[in-house]
Structures are given as C-alpha cells and as structure tokens.
Copies of this chain bind each other. A is one copy, B any other.
Amino acid sequence: MAVNLSTPNPADLLPVPGVRLGVAEAGIRKANRRDLTLIELAAGSRVSGVFTQNRFCAAPVQVCKAHIAGGAIRALVINTGIANAGTGESGLAAANATCAAVADLLGIKAGQVLPFSTGVILEPLPVDRLVAGLPKARGALRADGWFDAAHAIMTTDTLPKAVSRTVQVGGRTVTLSGISKGAGMIRPNMATMLGFVACDAAVSQALLDELVREAADLSFNSITVDGDTSTNDSFIVIATGQAGNAEITEAAGSDWAALREALIDVSVRLAQAIVRDGEGATKFMSIAVEGGADREECRKVAYAVAHSPLVKTAFFASDPNLGRILAAIGYAGIADLDVGRLRVWLGNPDESVLVAEHGGRAASYVEEAGARIMAHSELTVRIDLARGEALATVWTCDFSYDYVKINADYRS
C-alpha cells in the first residue's frame, strides 16, 4: 500500500522534444511482461549520471560509466528481471553485447548506448532474448511513451512513478519528464533504484554534470527505506537542447536558476515516490534537520533517525516516541553535540508541535498533541541542532509487519 501515491494520469506526462521511448515484452525472466525499454535521444543531446557507490557495482553500471565519459549518448536500454550484477566477466560481455545490438538497430556506435538492468542478482542476463526483443521496442518508439516506460521499468514496485512539468527558461518553455523505480533501496534479489529525467533545455555538459550531482544529492541520495544500497542504482539526466533557449553555460542568472529549480523539483518528487511506495510503508516521514554546523552533520542526524528501526516501528504504531528519536539523535555521531540546546518538533500538514528541548521532553508538550499529529500519514520530524546555519532533509517510511513479510517471504 503506497502512501499518498497514485498512478499518474497519462495526459499529465509531457513529451520532451528529442526523446522517444518504446517498450516490449522480451521474456527476460517471465513471459507476458513488459520488461524492455528503449529510449532514443536526438543527436546533440547531453547526458549525465550518478551511479551506485556499492563496490559490487553491476556490469551495466560499469559500462554506463565508461560510455557516458565518451559523450554523444544516443540511446538508453533498460531491462527488468535480471540485474546482471555479481556476474563477473560474462556479465560485462552481456552488457556490451546489449549495447552493440542497440547500436546496430539504430545505426549508432555501441559506445553511444547506456545499458541498465534491474532484477535478480547473481543470475546471467539472457542476452539473446533481450536482443530479440529490441526490434519490437524500436518499433514502439514514440514521444509520448513516458507512461509505458514508467510501467516497463517496474519490478516489485506497486505503482509506476512518473512526473512532468514545464518551466520558462530564457523566454522558452522547457519541458521536463522523468520516471523512477524502486520500492526499497534494494529489493531482496530484485535490486535497484533507477531514475531518468529528460528535458529539452540547452545547457552545457559541465553544468549538466554539476546539476545532476546536486539534484541527486537533494533527491535520490536523500531517501532511505531500509538503509541498503543496491548494486545497480543509477540516476540519469538528459538535456536534448531542443527548447530553443540560449545555451546555459554559467551557474548563475535566472535561466540557470529556473532550470535548476525545476530539475530538482522533478527529481525530488520521483525520489519521494520511491519512499511512498516503500516496502510495507504506511507512513511518509520527512526528517528535517536545521541549525547544523554543516550539511554533512545535518544528514548524519537525519539518517540516524530515518534508519532507526525503533523510530520506524514507533511511527508504524503511530506512537510519538520521543525517547527513540532523542536516542537516535544522540548516537548520530556528533561528538560535541549539546543536547541541552537542541529542539525537536513533530508535525503533519496541519500542525507542528515542539516536543523536546533542554535535553528532555518540552514542558508544553502533552501526549494528546503527539497522538493527534501521528494519526496522519504524512509526518515531519523537525530537529534544530542550534549550532549553525546548515540544513538537510531526508525522506523515509515506517517499518511495518509487511516489511518483514515482504522480505522474509520473498523467493526469487
């Protein structure tokens, strides 16, 4: 049961000039299932990405990193079912064969193709079936293929995740559309968070690289379901340059600001959708830390709270358990934290209540207020460290019986 998330309306998903998407049933792991997505980019598109830090980095991620460094990317190919991770040299060969097949089909070079895989790890990718499905995916290529692609990249997600919006940049309308998948930072063997955002803005490669890192930091790198990091996580931003705006080449000015705001907004909404569809989730929680000496310590505190199984089970029970929140802040690893100065609020979209100050429960806090706030499914824990000006927000979900059920019962 996803938290305040529903299937997007296909009419709300906007074509991005320069981008066409097609899906097919390739029978990668199961029959009668759309499991192959091809994304074709117009010549001149710029592409940037960030990838998993996991040392068990999947074969397609290794190939992506190599190809993206070469530039001039013209196609993305995404399969579900098999993650092609933990597969050694033969896994690399499979990812390269996939790129070669896409290149043949589209008349481009293999180095201009980025491959992505998500699904069971430690199993070989059936390249023959994947390649056999490519012509059908190519035949299905269309500018309004975002809705289908959002479905075709799902593994155990309960809902497709897609977002579009427009923004004015240099007097032109820039369109952004994106899709994401993932229902935990990693599913049992069904690994992977994937995020793809395309826009038609004209922006230099250097700025696009800067923007993808910042957007990832503020979105996909600010969520957690269970603290596990997958072997295949990838976030890709595409700029086709067809909107007609004057190319943005400096990280300054209103054009840059508008594009930056819009891209971060789309990325955050796609990332939050993953948490809303988190395994067994019944609550969506924002952990907003302010007053830190730097952003890194704010993130430490936010993640300590967001990862605490005790906090997460308390939120599942709608229990405003201050002790667990304070204890998590206390062990976040800030050696000189003055607990006497920090303050904590619990909130929902209707109200926010100061619950802790001076090293303990706030004098004004009554349990009824806490219970009233926790009855909501959208919750905020706001923490003021009173040490500086830095901020960070992390989004997570609660920890329910269903989380254990999903992860204990799952068999690949």
Contacts and interface: CB of A to CB of B under 8 A. Distances in A.
A333 to B, nearest CB: 8
Contact of A330 (B55, B122, B310): B55
Given A309-B227, A404-B316, A331 B191 contact: no
A86 B360 contact: yes
Contacts of A359: 56, 86-88
A310 B56 contact: no
A56 B325 CA distance: 11
Instruction: Specify the main secondary structure of chain A where it touches its partner.
Output: loop
A226 B361 CA distance: 24
A38 B189 CA distance: 52
Interface in A338-364: 339-340, 356, 358-361
A284 to B, nearest CB: 17
* Copies of this chain assembled into the complex: 2
A191 B327 contact: yes
B331 A228 contact: yes
B308 A56 contact: no
A323 B86 contact: yes
Contact of A228 (B121, B310, B361): B310
A53 to B, nearest CB: 7
Interface string A380-412: 000000000000000000011101110111010
A407 B230 CA distance: 27
B323 A189 contact: yes
B404 A323 contact: no
Given A314-B188, A316-B408, A321-B189, A55 B334 contact: yes
Given A360-B86, A408-B317, A330 B56 contact: yes
Contacts of A228: 308-310, 324, 327-328, 331
Contacts of A331: 53-55, 228-229
A327 B188 contact: no
A313 interface: yes
B329 A55 contact: yes
B188 A321 contact: yes
Nearest to A340: B88
A323 B407 CA distance: 13
Nearest to A83: B323
A361 to B, nearest CB: 5
